[in-house]
Structure 1
C-alpha cells in the first residue's frame, strides 16, 4: 500500500476557480508625494506611465482569468486612490465603507461611497472608527480576519462584525513594513475549509498561535517573499496573482496545485502597494 503525504495529496487535488467581481481605480494621478508607510520615499523618482502600464496588465490578467472588473474614476490630488482595496468591505451586499488614518487619503472614502451608492448598494454604512477596509480585512467565506496595529483601529473590528453580520477574528500586526493585513496574509480559498498564505513574522506571538490553530495547513512565506509584497496576492481558488519577484512563494503554491500568474508591480510598490492593494473584491 502506498501512503501519500498530506501535502502531496493536496497538491494533486484539483483546485477550483470561481469567477470574482473586482473594483479597481486606474493610477491616473499616481505619485509618491508624502510618506505614510516605510515603503514611500517622496525623493525617489516615479514613472507614472509605467505605473499605469503595470496596473493595466494586472486588470487585463483578471479579465483573462474570467473575472469581472469595474472601475471607479481616479480623482486629482489623491495619488493613492489606485489602492482600491482600502475603500470598503463588501459581503453579501452589505457595504462597510472606509475611514482612513492618514489625512492625505481621507477624501478617498467619499468618492468610493458615491460609487457604491450610484451602483445600487443601499445597505451601506460609513464607519465611525478608523477602518482601512480590505487593507486590514480578509474574508474567508466564514469569518473575517481583521488586522490592527498600524492603521485600522481595533474597535473597528467589532463595528465590522455589527455592520456586516459576520464573525471577526482579530490579528495583531507588529512590523511596520507590513502595516496592513493584506501585506502579510491573503486568502487562497474561501469556504468552510478556507486556506491562506501568510508571513508569520509580521504578527504578534499570540496572533501567530491563532493562525496556526485556524489554518494548520497554511502556506508559509519567508522573509524574501514578504519583502517584495508577495503576500499581497489575489486568488480565485485556483489562479493566484503574485508580484513577479515572489518566486519562492510561487513554487510553494504550484506544489500545492495552484496556477500562479506573475505581474510586475514594482512601480506601484514604491507606495507600498501590490496586486491586492489595487483590488477590492465584492464578495457576493
Structure 2
C-alpha cells in the first residue's frame, strides 16, 4: 500500500471560469453544463490514476476559489518536505490558507514531515513551476509569468537539490507544467516556443537529442504536455494521433482522458494533481577510513 503513488486532487463542484488570468480563460462563455462536465472529467481522471495503482486524497471544494482544482500549484513536495506556494494573482491568493490547512492535516496524519514558507516578497506557484526529474535528480524550475526567479534559491535551500532555471516566454504557457514534462527513463516531452532562447539552450545542453520529444503547436494547445507520468504510462488530456505515435515510438502508452472543461481554464492532468510521495535518491554512503 505504502509504495503506491499518492496524489492530491480537489473536489471540482465549485469549479468554473469566472475571471481571466490567462489567455485560455473566457468567463463570458462558461455555462452550468460545463461545470457538470468538469465534475465528470475530474472523476474520470481520478479513475485513470487509480487504475494505474495510485491512491488519491481529496481536498474539499471552496466556493469562490474555482482554481483550487489545480493543486499542483499548492506547493512543491519532495522527501516529505513541503514548500508552500504564494500566488501572484489576487484571484488565487485565497487558496493559500486552504492549502496550508490541508498540508497541516496531512502532516498530522504522517503523510508529510515539514512545511516551509517562502520569504516575503517572492512568488512561487508550486509544482507547476518546479518539476522533479527523478532520472536526473534535479528540479526543472520555471520562472517569469507566475514564479519569481528569486524563489529558486529557496527551492535549493529547502530541498538540497540542483535547480535548473528555465525562463518562460509565453503568457499562453505560464507555468512550466504546461510545456515541459520529464518522463520515466530520461525522456522529456516539451514545447520549445514556450521558452526563452536561453532556456531552450539549457534544455538542449541538459537533454540528449535522442531523449527529446518535441510537442507541436497543436499538441501543446491540447494541453497534452500537462501530463502525469507513471512509469511507461502517460495520463494526459486527449492527444492528437501525432503525439500518441511519438510517445509510442519511445515506449510509452498514452492513457487519454477528456479534460476539456479544465483546459478552458488553462490546466489539465498535471495541474489537477499534486504528487505527495516523490523522493530523491538517497545519498551514497561513505565509510570512514579506519
TM-score by length of 1: 0.90
2: CA distance, partners of 1:145 / 1:91: 13
1: CA distance, partners of 2:205 / 2:241: 27
**How far did residue 75 of structure 1 move?**
1.1
In the alignment, which residue of structure 2 is the partner of 1:162? 157
- What secondary structure does 2:140 align onto? strand
Displacement over 3 Å in runs of 4+: none
CA RMSD after TM alignment:
1.3
**How far did residue 87 of structure 1 move?**
0.3
Listed one character per residue, the Cα deviations across residues 3-49 of structure 1 (whole Å, up to 9, x for unaligned) are: xxxxxxxxxxxxxxx84211111211001111000000110123111
Q: Which residue, 220, 240, 245 being the options, matches 2:234?
A: 240
Listed one character per residue, the Cα deviations across residues 46-70 of structure 1 (whole Å, up to 9, x for unaligned) are: 3111000001100100001101111
In the alignment, which residue of structure 2 is the partner of 1:123? 114
2: CA distance, partners of 1:280 / 1:77: 21
**How far did residue 248 of structure 1 move?**
1.8
In the alignment, which residue of structure 2 is the partner of 1:175? 170
Q: Does the 8 A contact of 2:77 with 2:127 survive in 1?
A: no
2: CA distance, partners of 1:239 / 1:187: 13
In the alignment, which residue of structure 1 is the partner of 2:11? 26
Show the 5 A alignment for 1:179-194: 179-189=174-184, 194=186
- What secondary structure does 2:68 align onto? coil
In the alignment, which residue of structure 2 is the partner of 1:222? 216
**How far did residue 195 of structure 1 move?**
2.5
User: Which sits farther off after the overlay, 114-123 or 70-79?
Assistant: 114-123
In the alignment, which residue of structure 1 is the partner of 2:70? 83
1: CA distance, partners of 2:16 / 2:221: 21
Listed one character per residue, the Cα deviations across residues 134-157 of structure 1 (whole Å, up to 9, x for unaligned) are: 111100021100001200011111
1: CA distance, partners of 2:102 / 2:172: 31
Q: Does the 8 A contact of 1:19 with 1:236 survive in 2?
A: no
- What secondary structure does 1:139 align onto? strand
2: CA distance, partners of 1:140 / 1:19: 18
- What secondary structure does 1:267 align onto? helix
Does 2:135 correspond to 1:143?
Answer: no
- What secondary structure does 2:156 align onto? helix
- What secondary structure does 1:178 align onto? coil
Q: Does the 8 A contact of 2:23 with 2:171 survive in 1?
A: yes
**How far did residue 111 of structure 1 move?**
1.1
**How far did residue 278 of structure 1 move?**
0.1
Q: Which runs of 5+ in 1 are unaligned?
A: 1-17
**How far did residue 264 of structure 1 move?**
0.5
> What is the aligned residue count?
264
Show the 5 A alignment for 1:59-70: 59-70=46-57
Q: Which runs of 5+ in 2 are unaligned?
A: 280-290
TM-score by length of 2: 0.88
